[in-house]
Structure 1
């Protein structure tokens, strides 16, 4: 009886160790998490009505945040997004009563590390924009916090 119990504990320990090891090596944000972050950021910044025509992960990289205290993971991506209804239509350049928080900036970005995020940007109905940038995730609280502020457990 003791041998069966010990063998069961040994097998369970090995399985949980393999799961933990696999998670150390492979539990990083992937395409699903990238798509979720992109969906959240586009809906927040532009318009909730959009179609992601293509999404390509170009490369990924591990890095340390805050001098090695927090593990980070970066996903470089390129996405082509169509806005069937357009976005921020009250920011049309020729609008008679244009909103004051509109921007003329023609560089469209979800995440800007080097430039301040402009005001709301007009996108014509049916317009397609390409986002070629990166997303940084930070490992916190047993999950990965994305740039949209959400936590993901791959």
Structure 2
């Protein structure tokens, strides 16, 4: 059986796709969802799946504390960290769990997540993520795709 990280990574890679260089995308040149804007020292066009997986494990899964969360919440939190940044993801999770949103997943946040009903927590988390998307200047261009991704991730997270 695949690990929660493997499931979350498969979800992200399916949504992120391969190499792109869309001039409308502020991330610029991108492969497997890893952008030149975020990783200027990486050969984006030459990036392999394994290279992207290592970046996702280190800079998103581990940094966002996903390994300490229940599986469905971890999956949703990882996708949020990838799409909106680990700090923003942490704040959304904290707000959904009803604790101070300081951007650091510590004992208080973990305890609140454990106490919460997963479906309620994930629904609130998704609402905060959707609200954030709607405020972005690129929402008219990418919003429908972002919302599809959010909905698909929520369904998978609840089922996990």
> Which category describes the TM-score, using the shorter chain as reference length?
under 0.3
Larger Rg: 1
Compare the two structures and name the one with the higher strand fraction.
1
Higher helix residue share:
2
Could you state the TM-score of these two structures normalised by the residue count of structure 2? Answer: 0.24
Q: Could you tell me the TM-score, scaled by structure 1's length?
A: 0.24
